[in-house]
Structure 1
Amino acid sequence: MRRRSKVIGSVVALVVLIVAGVVIGVVVSKHNSSSSSSKKSASGNSTSGYAVGPYGVVKQSDPNDPSSFLKDDALKQSFYGLAYTPDNSQLPDCGNSLAAVIEDIQLISQLTTRLRIYGADCNQSALVLEAIKQTKVNVTAWLAIYNVPNNATAYEEQRDKVLDAIKTYGTDHVGGVTVGNEFVLDFMGANGGGSDPNDAVGTAGGELLIANITDMKNQLSSLGYSVPVGTSDAGAYFNDKVLESVDYALSNIHSWFANVSIAQAADWTYTFFEEENVEVAQGLSNKPDFAIGETGWPTNSTTAAAASNGPSTASEENLQTFLNDFVCGSNKNGTEYFYFEFADEDWQAKQFGGVEGYWGLFHDNRTLKGITIPDC
């Protein structure tokens, strides 16, 4: 099961883990009232068409043709990229469906031309590529493997699913394959590591990850595919040897967990990314491409105590501020990023509590939150 720790340093990581442990499994009525009262209906500006998807949000002029979906005036293709996980795509409870992914892709394609996923369990890779094929949209997907330290089977099973999807659909809509999400961070946390990803513990975890990265490169090459292979980690947890083994890296940077105010959130994110990631990468021999793999702002929490990062709160109003500042700012300064995230993930709220499940632009039922997508 995918777990994301949006941390910047070891102290922040410890605080996040403590908070998560306290609030796991607790869902308060605040979420229920917010989800029902503040949501906007995407594609609800048209009375014609057929709502054929499981969420009933997107309408099609032809119920049998997913490419005939009707556009929503509320959605703007302003985002460089989006982070996305199909509903019900975590083992052992696979319950996703092509129909649901098609409806998601219909919405996503109105916001961006790029998306990243986090793993290959539950046939995510093939579902995403098939949905892109059927909707005929201009979307490129960064496929992924969520490998687990000391579990070769998890890597190999997902690797084979990614390769099967590429064999079936080709690489026209594949931007890369990301091996690992916060692998070094998790390895260090599980093995008594400190805050330096280049210490002995971080390097040991990095060697495990490099073996998987190298294997994926070799597998793709042996099949004749030229696809970039990268990795993703928390912003301060990139091991230099790992960076030297990849074509690209995605940095998860969340001002929320650094206790930064919403007024300073976008500028702080840019500064952190440049100083901690871009400058480091430029000093390596291979100079891997770097993009922000996650950044965003939560809108809710399972408890009132976890709804504040100190100077700011989780709210739709503050999400709007972050969107205006970061999305429009990035479009001006050229920062490449995958916005976190497309839709709320109810399973994260239930399992980890706090703000973990409430980072989406959409509620988990795919209705737009009480925000205005910036047109910039």
Structure 2
Amino acid sequence: MSQLTKRIRLYGADCNQSALVLEAIKQTKVDMTVWLGNYVIPTDNSPYIRQRDLIKSVLQTYGTDHISGITVGNEFMLNYLNSNGGTVPDSDVGNAGAAILIADIQDTRNMLKDLSLGKALPVGTSDAGSYFNTQVLGAIDYGMANVHPWFANVSVADGAGWTADFFQTTDVDAANALSNKPQMYIAETGWPTKSSDAGNANNGPSTASEANLQIFLDTFVCQANANGTGYFFFDFFDEPWKDIQFGGVEGWWGLFTSNRTLKNIKIPDCPSP
């Protein structure tokens, strides 16, 4: 993975995942940095508090040398809108969800301030590319946007260009229009290699296949590395639990299979930022 990008993001802090990743970096001495995650549930704040305290403990144990930020929430606004009959992030429904998320973001900042760390850690959030609420953008240091050409029914040949254009116009431009100008990253992008059912074997113009993952790698990675686009490639390895729960292509986005065997692909050979 470090041949693609030196950035890793976590989606939550349960199951000791923050410490496990940082310990792996420590033992392997790989040059990577991680954005820790806190998965927020709008109807129950106890998971947020539990994960906040786990993150606090990890920071006290490992310090901040390999940590680049704390991400509060993953697709929080998308899920909140879907659960409350909304579709527009900048709406009354969206703003109600934003208030919940912003309170947790500020609480995380307060936790970091109390720790008196050697360096200031930025605090941000991650969401679907078109679901950033303006109030949330104004309250974060960085944002991570999921940008998937597959789900936009874009061909693999056009996937890399579409990803760059969508990210710039939908996310980067919106962030730069605000006074705080949060740093924006592509939280997820990639290409699935198969589907569990024939109905989802293609997105219209292109199929889910290892050959098409190779095309996306070849057309996206080196260009993004060269122009300084911050991205997190999706995904490191296939996730069988997603296939069981969701079916279709959901479990098959890995560069590696679930047993950590590299698929029939070649990692692009270009400098990773």
2:7–2:231 contact (8 Å) kept in structure 1 = no
Percent identity reads 58
Spell out, residue by residue over 1:216-263, the C-alpha distance to the aligned partner (whole angstroms, 9 max, x if none). Answer: 001101111221111000000000110111110000010100000111
Pick aligned residue for 2:167 from 273, 278, 294: 273
Q: Which has the higher contact order (CA 8 A, sep 6+)?
A: 1
Write the distance in 2 (CA, Å) between the matches of 1:140 and 1:186. Answer: 28
The Cα shift of 1:327 comes to 0.3
Write the distance in 1 (CA, Å) between the matches of 2:3 and 2:229. Answer: 13
Aligned pairs (5 A) from 1:134-153? 134-153=27-46
For this pair of structures, how many residues does the alignment match? 268
Q: Which amino acid letter does the alignment assign opposite residue 317 of structure 1? A: A
Match of 1:301 in 2: 195
In structure 1, stretches of 5+ residues that fail to align are 1-74, 81-112
Write the distance in 2 (CA, Å) between the matches of 1:338 and 1:313. Answer: 22
1:118 aligns with 2:43: no
SS of 2:151's partner is helix
Pick aligned residue for 1:331 from 206, 225, 229: 225
The Cα shift of 1:137 comes to 2.2
Instruction: Using structure 1 for the length normalisation, give the TM-score.
Output: 0.70
RMSD (Å), alpha carbons: 1.0
Q: Which amino acid letter does the alignment assign opposite residue 148 of structure 1? A: I
SS of 1:255's partner is coil
Write the distance in 1 (CA, Å) between the matches of 2:25 and 2:60. Answer: 16
Pick aligned residue for 1:227 from 88, 104, 121: 121
| 1:130 to 1:78, Cα distance in 2 relative to 1, 3 A | closer
Q: Which amino acid letter does the alignment assign opposite residue 197 of structure 1? A: P
Write the distance in 1 (CA, Å) between the matches of 2:235 and 2:123. Answer: 22
The Cα shift of 1:299 comes to 0.2
Write the distance in 2 (CA, Å) between the matches of 1:162 and 1:248. Answer: 18
Spell out, residue by residue over 1:248-304, the C-alpha distance to the aligned partner (whole angstroms, 9 max, x if none). Answer: 000001010000011110000000000001111010010000010100000011101
Match of 1:199 in 2: 91
Spell out, residue by residue over 1:84-123, the C-alpha distance to the aligned partner (whole angstroms, 9 max, x if none). Answer: xxxxxxxxxxxxxxxxxxxxxxxxxxxxx22111100111
1:78–1:327 contact (8 Å) kept in structure 2 = no
2:238–2:253 contact (8 Å) kept in structure 1 = yes
Instruction: Using structure 2 for the length normalisation, give the TM-score.
Output: 0.96
Spell out, residue by residue over 1:147-170, the C-alpha distance to the aligned partner (whole angstroms, 9 max, x if none). Answer: 111211010001110110011110
The Cα shift of 1:333 comes to 2.0
Write the distance in 1 (CA, Å) between the matches of 2:127 and 2:7. Answer: 19
1:213–1:246 contact (8 Å) kept in structure 2 = yes
SS of 1:203's partner is helix
The Cα shift of 1:132 comes to 1.4
Write the distance in 2 (CA, Å) between the matches of 1:143 and 1:184. Answer: 19
Write the distance in 1 (CA, Å) between the matches of 2:29 and 2:155. Answer: 40
Spell out, residue by residue over 1:314-339, the C-alpha distance to the aligned partner (whole angstroms, 9 max, x if none). Answer: 00000000000000211222211001
In structure 2, stretches of 5+ residues that fail to align are none
Pick aligned residue for 2:83 from 162, 183, 190: 190
Write the distance in 2 (CA, Å) between the matches of 1:375 and 1:135. Answer: 21
1:235–1:253 contact (8 Å) kept in structure 2 = yes
Runs of 4+ off more than 4 Å = none
Match of 2:155 in 1: 261
